[in-house]
């Protein structure tokens, strides 16, 4: 789960990491009031969406009077911001952060993340702040410094000093070490997967300040992060995914055209692989779980069909706890009730598979049955492409 920049900054402040003073607002009037209260002579107005690249897209703007702050807030609020990270449909801006403008001397990159390969928290830092880290990695890999943290001992002072020296903050090694250790503690305490400060800056007065903050929390830890779980912003999530979680379905939207309805996360992954192997692209990951009732199957169809890119649906069930006859009933019911006209490929195996296939046969519906996963994927890919014959990969 992601949270907004202003929420991440509140957490950083609570851990003693300096950020520019600021406040989130929902109206232009409140924006002007906040600017006045903050004082100073220059402010920034920052669109709060769960995506970066706002600066370049006009979502981070400088103002030199409270009236101008209000004007910018008025333009941003309710607008759709398209950045490198939002995709072409963009994101609607519902709130903006008004901050005192910092006097920047240098911008740096700093992030902590859980690295699956080393199974460690890794710190990444660079003197190339404000820039996409992937771009730095590709163009100037020597400008990036990484340190792995041993979970047994935590982040050590010498590692912080090494990073400070590498990014040209050797002079400020002591305050940098304090800052980094606070960030590390926040990361551990809140079960983060990623905490990225891009940029963190050294001001003209020599202070180290977090100017931007992106924080991703491990969904599997939300049960013990009650206060953070409440920060979930459904406006920032795919509505199909939100609806699916309400039905206890595990759905992830993807960009292909073969809709998938599968039981079991592993089989769902295997199904997506098989689709790609046959030259297609899955439109989603969907695990209907163990005891899938006909209602649950019907809900799965409804969610998959909300994606306008779907050209064919592949139902792949290997029933152990599940029963193929229930799934078949669900498929028949959904196809009738929802008047589905797209080709549907069904592969049933395991408990009551024969009974399930009989239900499909007798339904009188134009369902495409498949022998096994390979056959199912080939038929679904062909159907999505508008072909009836199957190509052997």
| Residues 348, 349, 355, 361, CA torsion sign | positive
Residue among 101, 114, 221, 385 that touches ligand ADP (CB under 6 A): 101
Closest alpha carbon to 140 in 153, 125, 123, 128: 128
52 binds ligand ADP (CB under 6 A): yes
End-to-end CA distance of the chain: 38
Structure-derived torsion over alpha carbons of residues 131, 136, 138, 142, reported in degrees to the nearest 10: 180
Stretch that binds Mg ion, among 36-44, 60-68, 211-219, 302-310 (CB under 5 A): 211-219
Nearer residue to ligand ADP within complex by CB, 68 or 212? 212
Q: Determine the Cα–Cα distance for residues 180 and 220; give it in Å rounded to an integer.
A: 25
Q: Rg for the chain (alpha carbons), in Å?
A: 26
What is the chain's percent helix, strand, coil content, to nearest 5? 40, 25, 35
Look up 23 and say whether it is catalytic: no
99 binds ligand ADP (CB under 6 A): yes
Least distance from C-beta 282 to Mg ion, angstroms?
A: 31
Stretch that binds ligand ADP, among 96-104, 255-263, 306-314, 338-346 (CB under 6 A): 96-104
Nearer residue to Mg ion within complex by CB, 109 or 326? 109
287 binds Mg ion (CB under 5 A): no
Least distance from C-beta 141 to ligand ADP, angstroms?
A: 21
Stretch that binds ligand ADP, among 49-57, 115-123, 154-162, 234-242 (CB under 6 A): 49-57
Half-sphere exposure of 218 (CA within 13 A, CB side): 14
102 binds ligand ADP (CB under 6 A): yes
294 binds ligand ADP (CB under 6 A): no
Residue among 15, 21, 23, 53 that touches ligand ADP (CB under 6 A): 53
Angle at the Cα of 190 from the Cα atoms of 43 and 110, rounded to 5 degrees: 50
83 binds Mg ion (CB under 5 A): no
Stretch that binds Mg ion, among 26-34, 160-168, 194-202, 283-291 (CB under 5 A): 194-202
Q: Determine the Cα–Cα distance for residues 30 and 288; give it in Å rounded to an integer.
A: 45
Nearer residue to ligand ADP within complex by CB, 52 or 330? 52
Look up 6 and say whether it is catalytic: no
19 binds Mg ion (CB under 5 A): no
Out of 196, 202, 236, 329, pick the active-site residue.
196
- Segment (H or E) for 106: strand 104-115
130 binds ligand ADP (CB under 6 A): yes
Least distance from C-beta 328 to Mg ion, angstroms?
A: 51
Q: Determine the Cα–Cα distance for residues 105 and 207; give it in Å rounded to an integer.
A: 10
- Which residues have C-beta within 8 Å of that of residue 104, sequence separation ≥ 6? 201, 202, 203, 204, 211
96: left (phi over 0), alpha (psi -120 to 50) or beta: beta
198 binds Mg ion (CB under 5 A): yes
Give residues in contact with Mg ion (CB under 5 A).
Answer: 198, 212
Give residues in contact with ligand ADP (CB under 6 A).
Answer: 20, 44, 46, 52-55, 60, 99, 101-102, 104, 107, 130, 198-199, 211-212
Give catalytic residue positions.
109, 196
């Amino acid at each position: 789960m992601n949270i907004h920049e202003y929420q991440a900054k509140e957490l950083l402040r609570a851990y003693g990491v300096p950020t520019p003073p600021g406040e989130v607002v929902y109206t232009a009037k409140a924006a002007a009031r906040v600017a006045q209260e903050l004082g100073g002579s220059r402010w920034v107005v920052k669109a709060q969406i769960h995506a970066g690249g706002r600066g370049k897209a006009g979502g981070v703007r400088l103002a030199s009077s409270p009236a101008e702050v209000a004007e910018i807030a008025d333009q941003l609020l309710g607008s759709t911001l398209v950045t490198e990270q939002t995709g072409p449909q963009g994101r609607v801006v519902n709130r903006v952060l008004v901050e005192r403008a910092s006097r920047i001397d240098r911008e740096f990159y700093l992030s902590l993340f859980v690295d699956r390969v080393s199974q460690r928290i890794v710190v990444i830092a660079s003197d190339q702040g404000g820039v996409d880290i992937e771009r730095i990695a590709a163009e100037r890999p020597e400008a990036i410094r990484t340190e792995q943290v041993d979970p047994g001992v935590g982040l050590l002072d010498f590692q912080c000093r090494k990073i400070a020296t590498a990014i040209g903050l050797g002079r400020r090694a002591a305050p940098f070490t304090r800052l980094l250790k606070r960030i590390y503690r926040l990361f551990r305490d809140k079960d983060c997967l990623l905490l990225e400060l891009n940029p963190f800056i050294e001001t003209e007065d020599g202070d180290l300040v977090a100017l931007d903050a992106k924080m991703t929390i491990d969904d599997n830890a939300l049960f013990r992060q009650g206060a953070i779980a409440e920060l979930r912003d459904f406006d920032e999530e795919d509505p199909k995914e939100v609806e699916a979680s309400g039905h206890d379905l595990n759905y992830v939207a993807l960009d292909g055209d073969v809709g998938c309805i599968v039981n079991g996360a592993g089989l769902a992954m295997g199904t997506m692989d098989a689709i790609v192997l046959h030259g297609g692209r899955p439109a989603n990951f969907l695990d209907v779980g163990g005891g899938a009732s006909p209602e649950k199957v019907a809900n799965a169809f409804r969610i998959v069909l909300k994606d306008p890119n779907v050209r064919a649906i592949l139902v792949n069930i290997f029933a152990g706890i599940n029963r193929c006859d229930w799934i078949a009933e669900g498929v028949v019911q959904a196809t009738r009730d929802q008047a589905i006209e797209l080709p549907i490929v069904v592969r049933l195996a395991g408990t009551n598979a024969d009974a399930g296939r009989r239900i499909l046969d007798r339904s009188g519906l134009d369902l495409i049955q498949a022998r096994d996963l390979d056959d199912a994927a080939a038929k679904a890919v062909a159907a999505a492409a508008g072909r009836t014959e199957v190509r052997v990969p």
